[in-house]
């Protein structure tokens, strides 16, 4: 074994203090800050790609009738928009934030496995290329919705589905390795004195998120593997003719899928739990209950999956169990919302951009939570299922939930990352344009959904036209505003007032004890945590 090793770089124990020069710095890096930045930039590129697809969808839905794209292409757009936003934009953004912040928050020198960390990232661009390239293949890209239900995704799918499956496999490998790395870092690399119950909530929520990832990404791998075998090797997992069951696919998918949606929201809870205390200038209310609430939500996420399948024909006892279990989630989530509100109560609050996004998060995520509660009622869900009400619901938890929290995190930590303050007036414009645009887009969807407009169609009945027009205008507003975000970030990297080590008066945590911008290596010797 020893004869086939590359000794040149790895045995070189010298600590070089700055980053290497040129492109290869990014390709070969083992530095958690470099890798975090790459994750965040990759996520933003994917955000714009998936966003462009959303713009196509909204342009087509601006009026009833077919005007811009073919229905077949429309289906590919809705499918790819969902897949890219979930696997390309939201998840990598959170992993990027974890990479940047967790080692600095717990006083670790880097991630526990720095080389594997780089591999987790570099799989992503290759997986994204494979996924997006399906659009240009014969027969078109995946057109069965981001949930890829069988038999649409098996018997009736285009040939490119094979590459979609392998892209999902690659994304899964990346997520599992990233999650293992995060867990090992949190459990093993905390500075002396940083006990579990002293960890910032962002670290706690990520620990639990990583656990969810390791638990459910393999289940998704199992689902797509069975699809692959049904497509190419003649098996009948999802084919009733051979004794299988298409509904089995939905069970496996949502056993992954429901924890997956919490994977996309738990880190957000951690972010706003850092930002709200900082700008309310009070300690977080109910830290311990926040930890337990997060763990409870994670546990419940494993026993609610069939609430996505109320109309598919599951036994009555199943409908009841999954309905009540789903409603239970409102309890720990309520604990969190009340804790945030109580943290704000009688605080000396100021509304810099991170706080604006966090406050909007609390209000709008709660709206999304309430529409979720409506959907959890099985008999009512028979009316809401597969309508735009569902689209409104999950965009209310994902856009002002996940995406707003990511924006809040970027503005909150940009001074630490770049050493510059961002342009506050422009950032406020970004916030208000996003806030108004997002509500204009998704609020009317509640109404058209309740009135019966089905999701995933390129055309609709005339009475839905006005609300759809409003949604489209809001969508274009939200979409173009994100180019302003890109401008603000670039401007912040290149110029701006010099940031102090702790630019926010009320901020807490180890990350503010190092200079801004954070040195390339931080905490090579662990700090003392009191």
Residues noted as catalytic:
81, 110, 146, 174-175, 258, 260, 262, 273, 307-308, 333, 336, 455
Bridge partners, 498 (sequence order): 420
Q: Report the nearest approach of other proteins to the CB of residue 116 (Å).
A: 8
Q: What values do phi and psi take at 440, rounded to 5? A: -60, -40
Residue environment code for 242-272, b if the CB has 16+ CB neighbours within 10 A, otherwise e = eebebbebbbbbbbbbbbbbbbbbbbbbbbb
Q: Mention every residue, 6+ apart, whose C-beta is less than 8 A from residue 33.
A: 99, 100, 417, 518, 520
Q: 121 or 340: whose CB is closer to other proteins?
A: 121
Q: 144 or 422: whose CB is closer to other proteins?
A: 144
Q: Report the nearest approach of other proteins to the CB of residue 164 (Å).
A: 9
Distances in Å between the alpha carbon of 276 and those of 266, 286, 308, 501? Answer: 16, 13, 33, 19
Q: Mention every residue, 6+ apart, whose C-beta is less than 8 A from residue 152.
A: 144, 145
Q: Report the nearest approach of other proteins to the CB of residue 254 (Å).
A: 12
Dihedral of CA atoms 83, 87, 88, 90 in degrees, nearest 10, equals 110
| CA separation for the pair 126, 403 (Å, rounded) | 24
Q: Mention every residue, 6+ apart, whose C-beta is less than 8 A from residue 226.
A: 235, 237, 238, 249, 252
DSSP 350: -
Bridge partners, 216 (sequence order): none
Output the CA torsion sign for 70, 128, 25, 101.
positive
Burial of 341 (0-12, 13-18, 19+ CB in 10 A): middle
Residue environment code for 62-81, b if the CB has 16+ CB neighbours within 10 A, otherwise e = bbbeeeebeeebbbbbbbbb
| CA separation for the pair 310, 321 (Å, rounded) | 11
| Other Cβ atoms closer than 10 A to 162 | 16
| Other Cβ atoms closer than 10 A to 482 | 19
Burial of 229 (0-12, 13-18, 19+ CB in 10 A): middle
Q: 243 or 425: whose CB is closer to other proteins?
A: 243
End-to-end Cα distance, the chain: 46
Q: 64 or 151: whose CB is closer to other proteins?
A: 151
| CA separation for the pair 240, 224 (Å, rounded) | 18
| Other Cβ atoms closer than 10 A to 97 | 25
| CA separation for the pair 78, 86 (Å, rounded) | 12
Q: 127 or 261: whose CB is closer to other proteins?
A: 127
Q: Report the nearest approach of other proteins to the CB of residue 443 (Å).
A: 37
Is 235:289 a contact under the CB 8 Å cutoff? no
Q: What values do phi and psi take at 288, rounded to 5? A: -60, -40
């Amino acid at each position: 074994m020893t004869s086939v090793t590359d000794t040149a770089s790895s045995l070189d124990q010298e600590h070089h203090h700055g980053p290497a020069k040129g492109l290869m710095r990014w390709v070969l890096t083992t530095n958690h800050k470099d890798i975090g930045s790459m994750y965040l930039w990759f996520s933003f590129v994917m955000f714009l790609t998936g966003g462009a697809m959303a713009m196509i969808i909204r342009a087509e839905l601006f009026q009833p009738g077919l005007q811009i794209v073919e229905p077949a292409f429309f289906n590919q757009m809705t499918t790819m928009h969902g897949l890219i936003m979930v696997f390309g934009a939201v998840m990598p953004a959170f992993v990027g934030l974890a990479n940047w912040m967790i080692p600095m928050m717990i006083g670790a020198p880097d991630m526990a496995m720095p080389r594997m960390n780089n591999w987790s990232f570099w799989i992503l661009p290759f997986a994204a290329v494979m996924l997006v390239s399906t659009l240009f293949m014969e027969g078109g890209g995946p057109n069965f919705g981001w949930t890829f239900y069988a038999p649409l995704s098996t018997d009736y799918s285009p040939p490119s589905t094979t590459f979609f499956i392998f892209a999902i496999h690659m994304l899964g490998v990346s997520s599992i390795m990233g999650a293992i790395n995060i867990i090992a870092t949190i459990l093993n690399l905390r500075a002396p004195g940083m006990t579990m119950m002293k960890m910032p909530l962002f670290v706690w929520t990520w620990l639990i998120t990583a656990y969810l990832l390791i638990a459910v990404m393999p289940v998704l791998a199992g689902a797509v593997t069975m699809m692959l075998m049904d497509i190419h090797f003649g098996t009948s997992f999802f084919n009733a003719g051979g004794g299988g069951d298409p509904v089995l696919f939905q069970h496996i998918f949502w056993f992954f899928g429901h924890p997956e949606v919490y994977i996309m929201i738990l880190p957000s809870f951690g972010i706003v739990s850092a930002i709200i205390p900082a700008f309310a200038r009070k300690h977080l209310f109910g830290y311990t209950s926040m930890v337990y609430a997060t763990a409870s939500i994670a546990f419940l996420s494993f026993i609610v999956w069939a609430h996505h399948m109320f109309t598919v024909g599951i036994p009555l006892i199943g409908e009841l169990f999954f309905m009540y279990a789903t409603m239970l989630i409102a309890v720990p989530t309520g604990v969190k919302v009340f804790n945030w509100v109580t943290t704000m109560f009688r605080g000396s609050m100021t509304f810099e951009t991170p706080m604006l996004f966090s406050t909007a998060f609390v209000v709008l995520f709660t709206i999304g939570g309430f529409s979720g509660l409506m959907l959890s009622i099985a008999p009512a869900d028979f009316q809401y299922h597969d309508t735009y009400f569902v689209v409104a619901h999950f965009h209310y938890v994902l856009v002002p939930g996940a995406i707003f929290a990511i924006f809040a995190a970027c503005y909150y930590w940009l001074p630490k990352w770049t050493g510059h303050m961002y342009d506050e007036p422009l950032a406020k414009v970004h916030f208000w344009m996003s806030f108004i645009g997002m509500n204009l887009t998704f609020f009317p969807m509640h109404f058209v959904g309740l009135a019966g407009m089905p999701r995933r169609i390129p055309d609709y009945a005339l009475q839905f036209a006005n609300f759809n027009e409003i949604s489209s205008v809001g969508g274009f507003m939200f979409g173009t505003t994100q180019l302003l975000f890109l401008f603000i970030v670039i401007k912040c990297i290149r110029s701006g007032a010099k940031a102090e080590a702790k630019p926010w008066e009320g901020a807490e945590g180890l990350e503010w004890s190092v200079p801004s911008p954070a040195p390339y290596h931080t905490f090579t010797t662990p700090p003392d945590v009191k």
